[in-house]
């Protein structure tokens, strides 16, 4: 059960642990648990400013604060607060002002009038400054049992995935979207790619929705498309944040795809009503790679697809509309159109390029991880 704090820490002896947490890793977690168990409760101070090392990689102070709150949602004796250093001189010159703000937070959140404060720190310079500037106990932490740093994680999150605490993993997950027009093999491709890397994946929510509702593509109405977009977004979000995510995640379709199909099937009035919702969800998505699959394979009637758009010209128009939508959202640098080299294969083998595109996708993914994290995927 989650605990929403409305009360202060009431214990007589309070441990204080502070940091940037960009990200919070198991070393931090271990230190906070030590502070909590050795005292009557632990106050965690998430500290930072615009442009700090977390903010530079998209982990703003507010985001880190919220993730830390989430990490300790079930802890009754851990309370997380935020210290904004915007108007404080940068380390090491801002100790006096920083400490005033920290002590104000301690006073606001720790209720006992005669409380004892113990600072838990792992840096020698922090210990020296706190010893010099306060009368509080300073506990120096042994970090040799978990030799990991946030700097190492920022450089190679996949290599240090198991050290990243759960709420922060969503930020470092490499999310790979596979998109394309209907009946081009992308669902099977997503399954094959994900399983080859031991990664979780989601399938197109529209298929599930249509099967459960017993309707076809051309029978979808405005409220259906709203459900499709929100359902696809939520399916991807939950899988990214699940324990199954080992640093790579694959998706068959996203809200951009739903938006294109909405434009295709609905009139302008209904499309314009839904567009703001779509655009908000698209902004909240995070894609590191977008693999667009052209319509080379035959169009198969699976019982739900609209056969009125099965001709090759219609399929290529839809393909180009997907490419346009990716560009409209400023994601062109993430996009790879995967043609494959099946035309060079031995006659009678891989006629429609399914295997060649699978191999090309794997090469793209492995190259991306190597260039960005210096990690060699199998």
* Span 151-201, pLDDT tens digits: 999 999 999 999 999 999 999 999 999 999 877 889 999 999 999 999 999
The answer to whether 13-154 and 173-373 have equal CATH topology is yes
Least-confidence region, from 75-84, 278-287, 300-309: 300-309
22-26, 92-96, 306-310, 356-360: least confidently modelled range: 306-310
Q: What's the Rg (C-alpha) of the chain?
A: 25
CATH hierarchy code of domain 13-154: 3.40.50.620
**Domain range summary for the chain, segments of one domain joined by +:** 13-154, 173-373
Q: Residue with structure tokens 């838990």?
A: 120
pLDDT in tens, 98-150: 999 999 999 999 999 899 999 999 999 999 999 999 999 999 998 888 889 99
Q: Cα 111 to the chain's mean position, in Å?
A: 36
> Shortest CA distance to 96 belongs to which of 149, 144, 44, 132?
132
**What's domain 173-373's superfamily in CATH?**
P-loop containing nucleotide triphosphate hydrolases (3.40.50.300)
CA 93/CA 88 separation, integer angstroms:
9
Say whether 44 sits in a helix, a strand or coil: strand
8-47 pLDDT tens trace: 899 999 999 999 999 999 999 999 999 999 999 999 999 9
């Amino acid at each position: 059960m989650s605990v929403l704090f409305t009360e202060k820490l009431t214990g007589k002896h309070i441990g204080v642990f502070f940091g940037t947490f960009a990200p919070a890793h198991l070393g931090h977690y271990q230190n906070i648990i030590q502070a909590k168990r050795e005292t009557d409760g632990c106050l965690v101070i998430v500290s930072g400013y615009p442009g700090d090392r977390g903010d530079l990689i998209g982990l703003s102070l507010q985001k880190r604060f919220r993730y830390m709150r989430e990490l300790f949602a079930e802890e009754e004796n851990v309370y997380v607060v935020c210290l904004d250093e915007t108007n404080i001189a940068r380390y090491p010159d801002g100790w006096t002002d920083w400490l005033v703000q920290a002590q104000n937070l301690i006073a606001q959140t720790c209720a006992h009038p005669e409380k004892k404060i113990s600072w838990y720190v792992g840096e020698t310079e922090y210990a020296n400054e706190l010893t010099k500037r306060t009368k509080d106990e300073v506990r120096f932490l042994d970090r040799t049992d978990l030799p990991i740093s946030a700097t190492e994680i920022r450089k190679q999150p996949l290599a240090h995935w198991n050290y990243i605490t759960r709420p922060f993993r969503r930020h470092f997950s490499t999310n790979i979207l596979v998109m394309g027009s209907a009946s081009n093999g992308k669902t099977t491709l997503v399954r094959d790619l994900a399983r080859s890397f031991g990664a979780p994946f989601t399938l197109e929510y529209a298929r599930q929705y249509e099967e459960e509702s017993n309707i076809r593509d051309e029978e979808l109405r405005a409220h259906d498309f709203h459900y499709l977009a929100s359902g696809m977004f939520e399916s991807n979000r939950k899988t990214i944040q699940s324990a199954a995510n080992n640093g790579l995640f694959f998706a068959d379709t996203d809200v951009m795809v739903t938006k294109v199909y909405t434009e295709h099937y609905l009139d302008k009035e209904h499309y314009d009503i839904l567009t703001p919702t779509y655009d908000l969800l698209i902004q909240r998505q995070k894609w590191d790679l977008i693999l667009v699959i052209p319509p080379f394979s035959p169009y198969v009637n699976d019982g739900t697809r609209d056969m009125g758009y099965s001709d090759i010209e219609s399929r290529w128009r839809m393909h180009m509309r997907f490419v346009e939508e990716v560009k409209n959202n400023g994601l062109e640098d993430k996009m790879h159109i995967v043609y494959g080299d099946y035309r060079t294969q031995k006659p009678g083998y891989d006629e429609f390029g399914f295997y060649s595109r699978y191999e090309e996708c794997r090469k793209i993914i492995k190259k991306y991880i190597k260039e960005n994290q210096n990690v060699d995927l199998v």
